[in-house]
Structure 1
Amino acid sequence: MIKHIVMWKLQEFAEGKSKEENAKVIKEGLESLINKIDTLKAIEVGININETAQAFDIVLYSEFDTVEGLDVYQNHPEHLKVAGFVRSVVSERVVADYEV
C-alpha cells in the first residue's frame, strides 16, 4: 500500500476568496475524487485548527494499492482540475509518499 500525504499553506486571499473559503473549496474538490478515480482507495482532507506559525492550513491523506495507482491518480484529468486550483491559492507545499 502507498500512502500519499500533502500539506499546504494557503495565501491569505486568492482567486477572489479568503484562505478559509479556499480551504473548503480544496477539501470538497479533493474529496470528490474518491468517486472519480478508481485507483484512489481512501482519502481524508483536513482543515487545520492549530494557529501557530509552523502549522499548515490543509492536509491530504490518501491511499493507493501501488505506486502506479498513485501515478494514475496524479495524472487523471479530474485530479489535474483540482490541482490547478490548489496551485493558484497555495504559498507553500510539502509532500511525503511511502509504502507500508
Structure 2
Amino acid sequence: MFTHIVFFKLADPTPVNVEKAKNLLLNMEGQIPQLKYLEVGADLLHTERSYDIALITKFECKNDMDAYQVHPFHVNEVLAKLKPMLKGSAAVDYEI
C-alpha cells in the first residue's frame, strides 16, 4: 500500500475557504479509479506550526499514485481550483 499525505496552508484560511478547499478534495471520492482511500481533515488547534487541511490518500502502489497525479479530475477539478487558494503545502509519501 502506498500512502500520500499532503498538508495545505491556505492564503486566506477563513472558515468558508477551509470548507471550500476541503470539499474540493473530498470530491475526488469515486472519481479516480486508482484512489483506494481518501481522508480530509481541517485543523482544529490553529497553532503557529499548524497547516489548515490534511489530505491522506492511499493507493495499491506508487504507479497508481503517479496515475492519480495526472488524472484529469485531479488536475482540472481539484488542483486548478485549489492551487490559487494556497499559501503553501508539504507532502510525505511512503510505502508499507
- The two structures share one fold, judged by TM-score above 0.5: yes
Q: CA RMSD in A?
A: 1.2
Cα deviation code 1:3-47 (max 9, x no counterpart) = 0000011112xxxxx632222122112112121111000000001
1:11 matched to 2:11: yes
Q: Answer whether contact 2:5 2:54 (CA < 8 A) is retained.
A: yes
Note the 1:63-82 alignment, pairs <5 A. 63-80=58-75, 81-82=77-78
Which residues of structure 2 form unaligned runs of 5+?
Answer: none
Structure 1 length-normalised TM:
0.88
1:39 matched to 2:34: yes
Q: Answer whether contact 2:24 2:82 (CA < 8 A) is retained.
A: no
Structure 2 length-normalised TM:
0.92
Query: In the TM superposition, what is the alpha-carbon distance from 1:51 to its structure 2 partner?
Result: 1.7
Q: Which runs of 4+ in 1 moved over 6 A?
A: none
1:87 matched to 2:87: no
| Whole-angstrom distance in 1 between the partners of 2:36 and 2:50 | 27
Percent identity (aligned)? 32
